[in-house]
Amino acid sequence: MIIVTGGAGLIGSAVVHGLNQRGIENIMVVDHLGLTEKWRNLAPLKFRDYLEKDAFEALLDNGTLPSRLSGPLQAIIHLGACSATTERDASYLIRNNFEYSRKAA
């Protein structure tokens, strides 16, 4: 299993596509779709599981992520982050981009 955080975004979905091109479909996509159109990036892709980022973080926090995986974890490709250049809430950026990355490591 390969986990791709930010997997519904432009770059993340391209990574999932690249994995699919190599015959890899045992992928867990993690993202936050909300009210965006990012789900469209996922439509043509092949992956085994999807989790919202908060659900993924909860599995990391309580140590139950291994029970959700279908097969051994091979890699986490961490691309999930707030990339909005207009985001002004520095506390949110620390929580979302820095602390989340530490948990996923």
Q: How far apart are CA 78 and CA 100, in angstroms?
A: 10
CATH of the domain at 9: 3.40.50.720
Domain residues for 18? 2-104
Question: Count of domains in the chain?
Answer: 1
Q: How far apart are CA 56 and CA 72, in angstroms?
A: 17
Q: Are 8 and 41 in contact (CB under 8 A)?
A: yes
Q: What is the pLDDT of residues 59-95, one digit of tens each?
A: 999 999 999 998 999 999 999 888 889 999 999 999 8
Among residues 2, 100, 89, 7, which one has the least CA distance to residue 57?
Answer: 100
Q: What is the pLDDT of residues 49-60, one digit of tens each?
A: 999 999 999 999
pTM: 0.90
